[in-house]
Amino acid sequence: MALIIEAPNEVYSIDNHKNAKIFLAGGISGCEDWQSYIISELKDIPDITIYNPRRKNFPINDTGEAEAQISWEFNHLRDADMIIFWFAKGSLNPIVLYELGMHGNSRDTAIMIVIDPEYLRKQDVMIQTQLARPEVPIFESMKDLIDALLEIFKYEQ
Provide Rg for the chain, Cα atoms.
15
pTM score, whole prediction: 0.94
At 12-65, the pLDDT tens digits run 888 788 999 999 999 887 788 999 999 999 999 999 999 999 998 877 778 888
Q: Which of 59-73, 88-102, 108-122, 139-153 is the least confident region?
A: 59-73
Q: What is the pLDDT of residues 142-154, one digit of tens each?
A: 999 999 999 999 8
Q: Output the DSSP codes for the chain.
A: --EEEETT-----HHHHHSEEEEEEE--TTS--HHHHHHHHHTT-TTEEEEE---SS--TT-HHHHHHHHHHHHHHHHH-SEEEEEE-TTS--HHHHHHHHHHHT-TTSEEEEEE-TT-TTHHHHHHHHHHH-TTS-EESSHHHHHHHHHHHTT---
Burial 106-117 (b: 16+ CB within 10 A, else e): eeebbbbbbbbe
Give the Cα separation of 125 and 14 in Å (integer): 37
| Domain range list for the chain | 7-152
CATH topology (fold) of 7-152: Rossmann fold (3.40.50)
Amino acid at 4: I
